[in-house]
Structure 1
């Protein structure tokens, strides 16, 4: 998440002016084609899709931030609500004020994990079992933070949550328990005076590292995981990514597809840090918040935080599989 209607109009306008540093256009065929929205959501009902986790059948689970819901969307666009996080008394989430559901991660057995930011003791990581039932809080996170992106490393049995206010990556056992501050530092904090007050935002894992976006700084970071599972020094892999929200690592390589929220773009970020725009508002994006890929299908939720029109789930076709290099 990098935008919210509660932000001032001035902040919205300033952030919307950000432009990504893109590589020069070439005569090659476009990487992404056949973009179309398979589902449109109800903005008035708070159906602002913030994050996405894919199922094996090509369906998607989304967090509706403002509605506090986890929604399921089939390949043909049918929408049903899996669960609603409990309402809280006197929500006081930093920056946004209201209680919101943000990042989502899916385990191989179908268990879903989500971040819930409330400004109260309910702030933390919540679990939804595959057979349904009520969501359960499995880890508390600081009430004065804003847990945003969420990633699951099943090999190590841990969850990582990116805190956009405290500039921290929290590490939590997959089974639940006490959260520890796994990574901190200036690279993860919000940038004073930036149009966006969000710092660490999106988060993903590969075999040996945790990747994090910083919205206010417009950066993409890679944090190595040491032999003892500790965090190594953060490496800046790309800059100039204004409005970067969440992203994906297709093929578990060094190439990244990232959502740029306010500019309304999805960009391909290469290993050398250069970026090329592959989707824009002309394709149907409306403040894209996250990206997911299965095989050659690209999924992009748009939350319409500042556009205030047409929150949707867009799918498109990748011309070829992205490599692992």
Structure 2
């Protein structure tokens, strides 16, 4: 596993450089006190492939995460304990044909009100790549196949319409799948979702009848209204100049959001209109942050250490509104 992760880090670093992802400080204003009391709540074992990729919060304060390189779904307690809920089967080729990255990985995850977890698995093989479901006490099962030539990444659940939306970072597509499973529909293939050499459409959220997404290569935050009959409306760019942007979460103050900048090891506060300020940095313990979530004024940030290869972790901070 160590050899595999070393190769992964070299690959991601090289591809990030080609894509123009800044691995030094992002161009933004100085750190502000918007996030305070930052601390590392849990450290994960890199050698075991516990590179946390995405997060969904449980009502009791625990968090569900995907460990990308470990092909796992886990529950992290409020005290930092880790319990593995599922390990997905390895592809026959070991995952070497997974587009761009060359290793099989679990990515986006969401939790439904009944405790069912939905998550994504990218393997580069048609038998495993797709949308998976894990019911409480059950076993993981794939409920929708996605193209083996793509990289399903971000995941969002519209509980009202029982619909899941999925970003494909290689194919530049947002897919739509019913929660019962079935054949995915390409909901949007707008050029703003496309990759420019590494990974395109990435983070994904649903808010007030609109789909919000990030584009890692293009450093943008995008907004797409959901029209009648569920069709995609015209895409709009809400923020730019956020190189390496991965996941994001709304702060509860209108369109203001917090975004993880993977390559520069930072979290940015992005204001309506697109301006941003860096509110967490490597000094706080960030190691290629991949995902972010909020519960009340508590901010959860996952770091996968893909490039730094040091201390994947879960960081907690307080949002000072």
Does the alignment pair 1:166 with 2:166?
no
| Counterpart for residue 96 of structure 1 | 101
Does the alignment pair 1:5 with 2:9?
yes
| Counterpart for residue 72 of structure 1 | 75
Structure 1 Cα separation of the partners of residues 219 and 25 of structure 2 = 10
- For structure 1, list consecutive stretches of 5 or more residues without a partner in the other structure: 321-325
- For structure 2, list consecutive stretches of 5 or more residues without a partner in the other structure: 1-6
Q: How far is 1:58 from its partner?
A: 1.1
| Counterpart for residue 261 of structure 2 | 260
Does the alignment pair 1:135 with 2:140?
yes
Match of 2:182 among 158, 177, 184: 177
| Counterpart for residue 190 of structure 1 | 195
Structure 2 Cα separation of the partners of residues 170 and 205 of structure 1 = 14
| Counterpart for residue 54 of structure 1 | 57
Aligned pairs for 1:228-243 within 5 A: 228-243=229-244
| Counterpart for residue 227 of structure 2 | 226
Residues 106 and 279 from structure 1, CA distance in 2 versus in 1: closer, same or farther, beyond 3 angstroms?
Answer: same
Size of the alignment, in residue pairs?
A: 310
Structure 1 Cα separation of the partners of residues 56 and 310 of structure 2 = 23
Deviations 1:24-75 (A, max 9, x none): 459xx71111111111001011000000000111110110000000011111
Residue pair 1:211, 1:221 contacting (<8 A) in 2 also? yes
TM-score, length basis structure 2: 0.93
| Counterpart for residue 118 of structure 1 | 123
Q: How far is 1:156 from its partner?
A: 1.2
| Counterpart for residue 323 of structure 1 | none
RMSD: 1.7
Deviations 1:292-324 (A, max 9, x none): 00001000000000000000000011112xxxx
Residue pair 1:105, 1:151 contacting (<8 A) in 2 also? yes
Residue pair 2:110, 2:156 contacting (<8 A) in 1 also? yes
Q: How far is 1:130 from its partner?
A: 1.7
